[in-house]
Amino acid sequence: MCGIIGYIGSKMAAPLLLEGLQALEYRGYDSAGAALLQSGRLDIVRRAGRVENLKTPLNELAQGACVGIAHTRWATHGAPTEHNAHPHRSADARWAVVHNGIIENADALRDRLVADGVAFASETDTEVIPQLLARAEGAPLEALRQTLAQLAGSWALGILCAHAPDALFAACQSSPLLIGAAQDGMYLASDAAAFGDDVFALYRLNDGEMAVLRADSVAFYDSEGAPVRKEAAPFSRRAHGSDKGMYTHYMRKEIDEQPDAVRRTLAQFFSDAGALRLPALLPSSPRRVFLIACGSAYHACVTAKYVIEELAAVPCEAWVASEFRYAMPLIGKGDVAVFVSQSGETADTLAALRLATVHGAHTVGIVNVPDSAIARACALVLPTLAGAEIAVATTKAYSAQLAVLYALAAHWAQAGGQECTDFLDELRRLPEKISAALTSEARAKAVAQEIHKEEHAYFIGRGVDYATALEGSLKLKEISYLHSEAYPAGELKHGTISLIAPGTPVIALACTARLLPKTAANIREVTARGARVFALTGAGADQNTLDAEQIIAVPTAHPLLMPSLSVIPLQLLAYHVAALRGCDIDKPKNLAKSVTVE
């Protein structure tokens, strides 16, 4: 959520900053800006809207500058306007700051500064930082230390000081920040995807740390200003590549990459002989399992709750992380808390992880970034090997998360003496069945043609179908802006059916064979009130029982694995509805890929 890029070295900074911003734009894209430092002068350019709007003015600004910082924003404090865009500058024009995170005591700090005569130019929480820096005493690093001591909240900071033209300053607290070493300089970024091709080594700032980057070195300090030693990790941008290839959108490309993502993810959990093998650190008989996540990752957890309880007979709860962290969860020793996040930096999930750790639960992270904050804080990490996911709306990372959660369920089933041979046999074949499910695109596109002009749609299902309905509904609303909701099919008659009017689209999931008659009855309830039903079911199911205008069939698998197949046409449906409505599919309005603020 928001993206930071900085550079200091022997190359011109402006084109490197632009390249980095374009790589980071999926993290926020309502405004962008950059600051360049040259000959003791700070030049700043900012624009509302996409990074593309910054290209011409930035290229015209201080072409000889070899040090700069830049930012692409997802608005939290203040509207997405030019004057609220980063970087923010101190009133004396000596300091420029880019910031990810939230300063929780910004209002109190602003009131104090205004009372002292400081004039603010924006509505943001970030602007208190350069204003505090300007009033601090001592050398720039000491001024930074004094300023950070006054802040509460989260921050990843890139900072320039006109009085230190050969340095770029950084600081981190509960928001990710990386430093990349290159042959011709040093980079600063909130995501490794922003690094140049020449970066060969990577450093990660820990909470409370500061850094001073120079053209050929970097030095680290703790919150008291004492030096900190760090070892660099090797880095190759090839591992973080993001070529769109022949595809119009990253999302469509990533939908097609799901079989390989699931295949890679599952391969780490099976021996050459086909036996399931999870790490020895994973408890074999948890008292209870808590599955905690946000957004699509939460929907994967809802699916897993059904799977774990039915397959392994282990009590399981699925929690939205922002609710878990402020509830009074009855969690403690003997429990396993599983935290699911594509980025591994999701703020609410990370806070819930800290709470579970305090209560003594064994913590497991399911993340797509192995050195992320959640990965480093968990007792055990089970990685998803989905590769870089650029589209804001997740597809392949979601499918990889389901794959890991299935493996967890099977592990606990085997440990508890539950029969799961058929499940494991089907799990090993899941990638090829996902490939077959991708052939449903023509049917999904046909349904999209029927509903893309509507303003409301409803998804219904029972059991794991309901969990998949949640994800299908989210996909549709987040990229096409068509209002949709998902409900347990049996709940329709308890209020929701009052919203069904003649012509209302209802997408009915009927992929669980034993529940098919029940779902068929719910379909008849909505068709009796004029709904247009589009059903999704398993190939070979008795489709004559489904009173639907169109039916999409997916391959059959073990009933508990069907969500990995039924989600595919729902992703394709959302994609084609969004395309027909002319939406920006990879960068939906108001959304960002990595949510690092509460």
Q: Residue 417 burial by CB count (10 A; 0-12/13-18/19+): exposed, middle or buried?
A: exposed
Q: What is the DSSP string of 360-417?
A: T-EEEEEES-TTSHHHHHSSEE---------SSS-SHHHHHHHHHHHHHHHHHHHHTT
> Domain ends where: 189, 216, 240?
240
What φ, ψ does residue 327 adopt, rounded to 5°? -90, -175
Hey, is 538 helix, strand or coil?
strand
HSE toward the beta carbon, residue 77, CA cutoff 13 A: 19
Name which of 287, 283, 298 is nearest 352 in CA terms: 298
For residues 146 and 501, what is the distance between their CA atoms, to the nearest angstrom? 61
> Domain ends where: 387, 408, 428?
428
Query: What angle in degrees, to the nearest 10, is found between the helix axes of 563-580 and 441-451?
Result: 50
- Based on the fold, state whether residues 272 and 223 are members of the same structural domain: no
Query: What angle in degrees, to the nearest 10, is found between the helix axes of 563-580 and 430-437?
Result: 30
Name which of 192, 158, 183, 188 is nearest 11 in CA terms: 183
Q: Classify residue 497: in a domain, yes or no.
A: yes
27 with 191: CB under 8 angstroms? Answer: yes
Alpha helices in 235-383 (DSSP H): 250-256, 258-267, 295-312, 321-324, 347-358, 373-377
pLDDT given at position 270: 94
Q: Classify residue 120: in a domain, yes or no.
A: yes
Query: Which domain, by its residues, includes 163?
Result: 3-240
For residues 34 and 388, what is the distance between their CA atoms, to the nearest angstrom? 26
- Based on the fold, state whether residues 420 and 489 are members of the same structural domain: no
What φ, ψ does residue 356 adopt, rounded to 5°? -65, -35
- Based on the fold, state whether residues 250 and 236 are members of the same structural domain: no
Write the CB contacts of 198 (distance below 8 Å, at least 6 apart in sequence): 182, 183, 184
CATH number, domain with residue 526: 3.40.50.10490
| Structure-token match 């009033």, residue found | 135
223 with 209: CB under 8 angstroms? Answer: yes
Q: Classify residue 451: in a domain, yes or no.
A: yes
pLDDT given at position 2: 79
- Based on the fold, state whether residues 216 and 253 are members of the same structural domain: no
> Domain ends where: 367, 399, 428?
428
Q: Classify residue 412: in a domain, yes or no.
A: yes
Whole-structure pTM over 0.85, yes or no?
Answer: no
Hey, is 554 helix, strand or coil?
strand
- Based on the fold, state whether residues 523 and 539 are members of the same structural domain: yes
- Other Cβ atoms less than 10 A from the Cβ of 425: the count is 11
Q: What element of type H or E holds 467?
A: helix 464-480
Q: How many domains in the chain?
A: 3
| Structure-token match 């930082």, residue found | 129
- The residues annotated as belonging to the active site are 2, 593
- Based on the fold, state whether residues 155 and 223 are members of the same structural domain: yes
Residue type, 573: L
- Based on the fold, state whether residues 448 and 424 are members of the same structural domain: no
- Based on the fold, state whether residues 413 and 450 are members of the same structural domain: no
How is residue 419 annotated by DSSP? -
- Based on the fold, state whether residues 150 and 277 are members of the same structural domain: no
pLDDT given at position 241: 47
First-to-final CA distance of the chain: 11
∠ CA 386-267-402 to the nearest 5 degrees? 50
- Other Cβ atoms less than 10 A from the Cβ of 160: the count is 28
Q: Classify residue 533: in a domain, yes or no.
A: yes
Q: Classify residue 598: in a domain, yes or no.
A: no
- Other Cβ atoms less than 10 A from the Cβ of 114: the count is 12
For residues 502 and 396, what is the distance between their CA atoms, to the nearest angstrom? 35
Q: Classify residue 482: in a domain, yes or no.
A: yes
- Based on the fold, state whether residues 522 and 404 are members of the same structural domain: no
- Based on the fold, state whether residues 288 and 319 are members of the same structural domain: yes
pLDDT given at position 53: 83
- Based on the fold, state whether residues 366 and 487 are members of the same structural domain: no
397 with 342: CB under 8 angstroms? Answer: yes
69 with 85: CB under 8 angstroms? Answer: no
Q: What element of type H or E holds 450?
A: helix 441-451
Give the pLDDT means over successive 10-residue stretches in the chain (598 positions): 90 92 76 90 88 83 87 75 89 94 93 94 93 95 96 94 96 91 94 87 93 97 95 72 79 96 96 90 95 97 98 97 91 97 91 95 94 90 93 96 98 96 96 96 97 96 97 97 94 84 94 91 91 91 83 95 98 98 90 58
Q: Classify residue 74: in a domain, yes or no.
A: yes
For residues 38 and 43, what is the distance between their CA atoms, to the nearest angstrom? 8
**Cα 154 to Cα 1, 102, 207, 386, distances in angstroms:** 12, 5, 9, 28
**Cα 300 to Cα 242, 256, 366, distances in angstroms:** 25, 19, 11
316 with 289: CB under 8 angstroms? Answer: yes
